[in-house]
Amino acid sequence: MDLKNKEQKYIINTYNRQPDATLFIKRGEGVYVWDEAGNRFLDFVSGLAVNNLGHCHPTVVEAVKRQTEKLMHTSNLYYTEPQIRLAEQLVAQSCADKVFFCNSGAEANEAAIKLARKFGKATRGCGAHEIITAQRSFHGRTLAAITATAQPKYHQGFEPMVAGFHYAEYNNLDSFAALVNENTCAILVEPIQGEGGVYPAQPEFLQGLRKLCDEHGLLLIFDEVQSGIGRTGKLLAYENYGVEPDVYTLAKGLGGGLPIGVMAARGAAADTLVPGDHASTFGGNPVVCAAAGAVLQVLGEDGFLEHVQKVGQYFMDRLQELTYANKVELRGLGLFIGLEISGDGAKVASDCQKEGLLLNCIGGKTLRFLPPLIVEEEHIDAAVNVLQRVLARLD
C-alpha cells in the first residue's frame, strides 16, 4: 500500500485530500516546493501564510538547530531564555505590554476570548461577557473560536454554539454600534478578512471601532493570525490604519514553519489573567520561540518590509492587467491578495497546479494569493503568466 492510500486508511478525513489530485510535497526551498516525482512548484500558498520567509529559511533553520542542541522542551513551570527574548521582541515592536504564548491562531483567539470575558466582568459587571464579531470572519476551529467565526457553514453539526457572540456587518460601523449593550465586553475583528474572501478593513471602520470601544469601555481585539508578521508590508496590519487594539493575536507566519500562537495585550487588559486562569503545556516552547525570534530578526532587517510593499504593489498591478472576462474584483494589501472571479475558482487553482503554480481558492470564487514575503518580481511574472493562460482557457 502506498503512502496516499495509507493516509486514507489511517488519518481522519478532515482535509479531503484526493490521491489522484492532491500534491505530495517532499521538500521546499525559498519560494518553491517539489513533489515526490521531482516536479517543482511555485508556492503562492505558503502553508496558508505560515512560510512567510519561504521554505527552510537559513536563519530560522540555524536558530532551530542551535536550540535543539541545548533544550527542546520544559514545562512552563520554569523560565526559558528564548521565550523571554521573544516576548521582549514582540512588545518592543508593537503596542502590547505583555504576551501569552500558545500553539496556534485558534488557541490565541480562545485566550483573547477568555481574557475579554474576565475583563468585562471586572470592569462592566458580571453580565458583561458578550463579544461582537464580523460576518464572514474566521477565527479558528476550537468551539469558542468557531462560534466567533460568523460563517454558518462552520457551525453546522456542532450546535449548540458557545453563548454570547453576536455578528455585525464588516466595514459597517453602525451595524456594530447597534449590537453594543450592557453585556458587551469586546469587539473582535480581522484587519483584513482572509478566509472570508480577502476583504481589507476601511480605515474609518477600524477608527470608528476604536472610538466605540473607548466610549463603552470595551476591549478592541484584532485577529492578526493571517494578516500579521509582515504580510501587509508592516509587521502588524493595524499599523496600516493608525489604530491600536487592546489585544491582538498572532500565529501562522511567526514560527517560520513551526507551530506558535500569541495573545498580546496592553494596559489593564495585560494584567487581567492571573496564575491559574490559563495555560499551555507546549506554549512558548524554546525551539519554536527560537525560530520566531529568527523570523522577527529577518523581518527587522533594513528594507525587508519595504520590499514586501514594493512587490505587493507590483503583484496587484500585474493582476490588474489580466485580461479575463470573468474578473469581478481585486482586493488586498501588501502580499495578502484576493482575486474574485465569476468562474470556477477551484478549477482555476487545480489547473494552475498542473502548470507548476500553487494558489488557494476560497468560497469557490476567490483566488487567494499568499506568496512568501521573499518573492521577487520574476516569480510574480511567472505566476501571472500561468494564471493568464489558465484563465484564458476558461473564458
Catalytic residue annotation: 138, 223, 252
59 is in an annotated binding site: no
Cα-based torsion angle of the residue sequence 143, 363, 152, 203 in order, rounded to the nearest 10 degrees: 80
The secondary structure of residue 201, as a DSSP letter, is P
CA distance 368 to 352: 13
CB 162 within 8 A of CB 150: no
**Annotated binding residue at 145?**
no
Q: Is 123 annotated as a binding residue?
A: no
CB count within 10 Å of CB 138 equals 27
C-alpha cell belonging to residue 2: 502506498
**Per the annotation, does 255 bind a ligand?**
no
Distance of CA 343 to the CA centre of its chain: 26
Q: For residue 244, with 0-12 CB atoms within 10 Å meaning exposed, 13-18 middle and 19 or more buried, which class applies?
A: middle
The residues that bridge with 100 in the sheet, in sequence order, are: 263
Within 10 A of 284 (CB to CB), how many other CB atoms are there?
A: 23
- DSSP H helices, 225-321, are 286-299, 304-320
Which string of b and e fits 307-317 if b means at least 16 CB within 10 Å?
A: bbbebbebbbe
Q: Is 7 annotated as a binding residue?
A: no
The full 3-state SS of 168-184, as one line of letters, equals ECCCCHHHHHCCCCCCE
For residue 226, say whether it is annotated as part of any ligand binding site: yes
93 is an annotated ligand-binding site residue:
no
- The CB-side HSE value for 174 (13 A sphere, CA atoms) comes to 0
138 is in an annotated binding site: yes
Report yes or no: 180 and 186 within 8 Å, Cβ to Cβ. Answer: no
Q: Can you tell me which residue has the cell 476591549? A: 219
Distance separating alpha carbons of residues 165 and 131, to the nearest angstrom: 5
339 closest CA partner among 389, 388, 393 = 388
Strands 219-223 and 327-333: unpaired
DSSP 307-364: HHHHHHHHHHHHHHT---TTEEEEEEETTEEEEEESS-HHHHHHHHHHTTEE-EEETT
Binding site as annotated, residues for pyridoxal 5'-phosphate: 105-106, 138, 223-226, 281
Binding site as annotated, residues for N(2)-acetyl-L-ornithine: 141, 280
Binding site as annotated, residues: 105-106, 138, 141, 223-226, 280-281
